[in-house]
Amino acid sequence: MLNQPLTMSRDCGDCPIRHRAVCARCEADELEKLDKIKFYRSFQAGQTVIWAGDQMDFVGSVISGIATLTQTMEDGRTQMVGLLLPSDFVGRPGRDTASYDVQATSDLVMCCFRRKPFEELMATTPHIAQRLLEMTLDELDAAREWMLVLGRKTAREKIASLLSIIARRDATLNMRSGTGPIVFDLPLTREAMADYLGLTLETVSRQMSALRKDGVIVLEGKRHVTVPDFDRLMEEAGDDSDGGMLA
Amino acid sequence: MLNQPLTMSRDCGDCPIRHRAVCARCEADELEKLDKIKFYRSFQAGQTVIWAGDQMDFVGSVISGIATLTQTMEDGRTQMVGLLLPSDFVGRPGRDTASYDVQATSDLVMCCFRRKPFEELMATTPHIAQRLLEMTLDELDAAREWMLVLGRKTAREKIASLLSIIARRDATLNMRSGTGPIVFDLPLTREAMADYLGLTLETVSRQMSALRKDGVIVLEGKRHVTVPDFDRLMEEAGDDSDGGMLA
DNA sequence: TGCTCTCCTTGACGCAGATCAACCTCAAGA
DNA sequence: TCTTGAGGTTGATCTGCGTCAAGGAGAGCA
């Protein structure tokens, strides 16, 4: 039973997200300073990284695994407001409490920095602030894209949108390309998908079945997805010919 | 018939958004540099500032009036993804085409900077980049707040949420406070409200009537709103006891 | 005084997706 | 081998909001 986060230590040179995370622009000397205040934390699938409202004395990057950002109303309705993949940044410099619940959806490893030293470093290291601005702007674009999905798309379009985003991100991370069939594992339960899309899990399940029946996707088990024709999926998502910007 | 934007010139010292906009942190000498590349543009209510996909060779701040950011699907469904009030920033450094349609909802005055010089200035003036990061993080929070509204709230709650946000922003801008009744003018048509909330204009109209009938708001004409009890409105919005962070 | 246009309201009806409920699958544990 | 529980599927029914349609209110104009 491993309920407490692990800590460990690694070299930034080997880091799989070295060129995409908040430290991407840093020079060797800057990296060294970051290295001094960094520490790793691991979480098991299902664990909560932090609760909304809790004191948050660190910020950090996702190294591997997937985490979610969710908001909850008093009566229990929940909406996911962010999906954190490797290289994504967690936390807000200048704010000392978490705004959202952060949960590990899969096993998760994060590279964390104590907040105060990180803020001081940011003030003296433009490369960090620059990169953070860029990443935040990307996230804002993604959030706005998602507002269109939540506000105006049908259940079927929502599912197709989510699948195409995951497929695309997966392809980017793994540097795959080409026009062959796309294969990936869903990193989310049906319930988490529902929370992301503003639907119920029953509707998610039904629409997944419908897309399977219509040949838009092939399902092996509940999570393993093959997309034989990505353009078809994009059509189903309601946005053809849209390059689709992603973080 | 005034279809072309006006240009004019003013002094930053008199600027009503001097302490809230992207230039808020600038020192006198930095302000001077900004002053050299700034120009004002005016738009009439209903005019389009820029279309998504168009070349965008400027960025800028809203000085007075209200603008909207909207996304449109091929079949015409539209979703508003941002509401720009005085001091809000328009445009994205590093990107040369507009991502969204920007429209003037009321008569609008903007303080614009040519994009290239602004980007150069940003690289050498940390105060600008810092403030922009802060503003972008605030906008990201607002967007995520809105995702909860779009994904999980009922039509009545959506309307109440929008009203409470406008009421609060208005109170902030005009430095009003206290616990008396709140009075303001809706800056949006029913259709714009619908586009913001992911509803139809008929549903917006019905829910406005329902809130009026239930005494949550008092309407004079179609736009002039009085909120006798702000806590009641917050309850209707589904978020009591929530401080509600705003840009 | 009436025309026209924009914005808004209200009613009748239908449907997409929520709700309620039953059951399936699979893996872990005893 | 059976139990237990998490995650998922599917069916029946209900309902909130969309759709379609008619008409009101007010401003600008002739």
For residue range B101-143, list pLDDT tens digits in order.
999 999 999 999 999 999 999 999 999 999 999 999 999 999 9
**Interchain CB contact of B246 with A (< 8 Å):** no
CA→C1' distance for A165 and D13 (Å): 34
Q: What is the DSSP letter of A4?
A: S
Alpha helices, DSSP H, located in chain B = 28-37, 115-124, 126-152, 155-173, 190-197, 201-213, 230-237
- Which nucleotides of strand C lie under 7 Å from a protein CB? 7-12, 16-21
Closest chain A residue to the Cα of B140, Cα to Cα:
A140
**How many Cα atoms sit within 13 Å of A10 on the Cβ side?**
18
Q: CA torsion B12→B15→B20→B23, rounded to 10°?
A: -20
Q: What is the mean pLDDT of chain B?
A: 91
- Judged on CB neighbours under 10 Å (0-12, 13-18, 19+), B211 is buried
CA distance B122 to B132: 9
Sign of CA dihedral A200, A203, A209, A214: negative
Region label for A175, one of left (φ > 0), alpha (ψ between -120 and 50) or beta (otherwise): left
Distances, alpha carbon B110 to alpha carbons A25, B2, B21, B85, B93, in Å = 33, 16, 11, 11, 17
Per-residue pLDDT band for A178 (boundaries 50, 70, 90) equals low
Q: State pTM to two decimals.
A: 0.92
- Condensed to tens digits (0 to 9), the pLDDT of residues A122-135 reads 999 999 999 999 99
- What average pLDDT score do residues B158-167 get? 96
> Per the CB < 8 Å rule, is A126 touching B130?
no
SS (H, E, C) A217-230: CEEECCCEEEECCH
Residue type, A213: K
Beta bridge partners of A112: A39, A60
Residues 6+ apart with CB under 8 A from A123: A129
A77 touches chain B (CB under 8 A): yes
Dihedral of the CA atoms A117, A122, A128, A130 (nearest 10)?
160
Region A56-80: what's the mean pLDDT?
96
Q: What is the pLDDT of residue B134?
A: 97
- Does residue B155 reach within 7 angstroms of strand C, measured from its CB? no
Cβ atoms A100, A52 nearer than 8 A: yes
Return the structure tokens found at A228: 């034989």
The reply to whether the CB atom of residue B209 sits less than 7 A from any atom in nucleic acid chain C is yes
Torsion sign, CA atoms A83, A84, A86, A92: positive
**Could you give the CA distance from residue B30 to residue A106 in angstroms, rounded to a whole number?**
47
Is A203's CB less than 7 Å from nucleic acid strand C?
yes
Radius of gyration of chain A (CA): 19
Q: For testing the chain B interface, which of A79, A96, A122, A145 should be mutated: the one with the most B CBs within 10 Å? A: A79
pLDDT recorded at residue A177: 61
Total residue length of chain B: 247
**Longest distance between any two alpha carbons in chain A, whole Å:** 56
Interval A143-156 mean pLDDT = 98
**What is the pLDDT, as a whole number, of residue A225?**
96
Across chain A, what does the average pLDDT equal?
Answer: 91
Which residue blocks in chain A are alpha helix, DSSP H?
Answer: 28-37, 115-124, 126-152, 155-173, 190-197, 201-213, 230-237
Q: Who contacts A15 (Cβ-Cβ below 8 Å, separation ≥6)?
A: A21, A63, A111
Do residues B196 and B158 lie in contact, with contact meaning Cβ atoms separated by under 8 Å?
Answer: no
CB–CB of A89/A21 below 8 Å? yes
Band the pLDDT of A136: cuts 50, 70, 90: very high
Distance CA B128, CA B122 (A): 6
Whether the pLDDT of residue A67 is over 90: the answer is: yes
Q: Which of the residue ranges B9-18, B88-97, B171-180 has the most confident prediction, judged by mean pLDDT?
A: B88-97
Task: Identify whether the C-beta of residue A61 lies closer than 8 Å to the C-beta of residue A88.
Answer: yes
B205, closest nucleotide (Cα–C1'): C9
Confidence of residue B244 (pLDDT cuts 50, 70, 90): very low
Nearest Cα of chain A lies from the Cα of B156 at a distance, in angstroms, of: 15
Instruction: Quote the CA–CA distance of A76 and A34 in Å, as a whole number.
Output: 39
What is the layout of strands, in order, in the sheet containing A101-104?
A48-50, A101-104, A67-72, A78-84
B198 CA to chain A: closest CA distance, Å? Answer: 4
Distance in Å, alpha carbon of B1 to nearest chain A alpha carbon: 35
In Å, how far are A77, A118, B34, B156, B220 from A198, measured between CA atoms?
10, 35, 43, 17, 35
Residue A91 — left, alpha, or beta (φ > 0 → left; ψ -120 to 50 → alpha)?
left
Q: Which residue has the tokens 């206290």?
A: B178
In this complex, the answer to whether residue B48 has its CB under 7 A from any atom of chain C, a nucleic strand, is: no
Q: Tell me if B152 and A197 make a contact (CB, 8 A cut-off).
A: no
Short-list A35, A124, A134, A153, CA closest to A88? A134
3-class DSSP state of A123: helix
pLDDT band at B172 (very low <50, low <70, confident <90, very high): confident
Q: Which of residues 179-198 of A touch B (CB under 8 A)?
A: 197-198
- Cβ pair A144:B240 closer than 8 A: no
Tens of pLDDT along A12-43?
A: 988 999 999 999 999 999 999 999 999 999 99
Residue labelled with tokens 């804002």: A140
Q: Could you say which residues from 126 to 165 on chain B have a Cβ atom under 8 Å away from some Cβ of chain A?
A: 126, 129-130, 132-134, 136-137, 139-141, 143-148, 150-152
Lowest-confidence region among A231-245, B138-152, B219-233:
A231-245
- pLDDT recorded at residue B181: 87
* β-strand partners of B219: B225
Q: Residue A155: which nucleotide is closest by CA–C1'?
A: C17
pLDDT confidence of A239, banded at 50, 70, 90?
confident
* Residue A240 exposed, middle or buried by CB count within 10 Å (0-12, 13-18, 19+): exposed
User: Which tokens belong to B103?
Assistant: 């429209």
Phi-psi group of B76: left, alpha or beta (phi > 0 → left; psi -120 to 50 → alpha; rest → beta): left
By percentage, how much of chain B surpasses pLDDT 70? 91
Nearest to A61 by CA among A52, A78, A49, A72: A49
The two most distant CA atoms of chain B are separated, in Å, by 56
Question: How distant is the Cα of A247 from the closest Cα of chain B, in angstroms?
Answer: 13
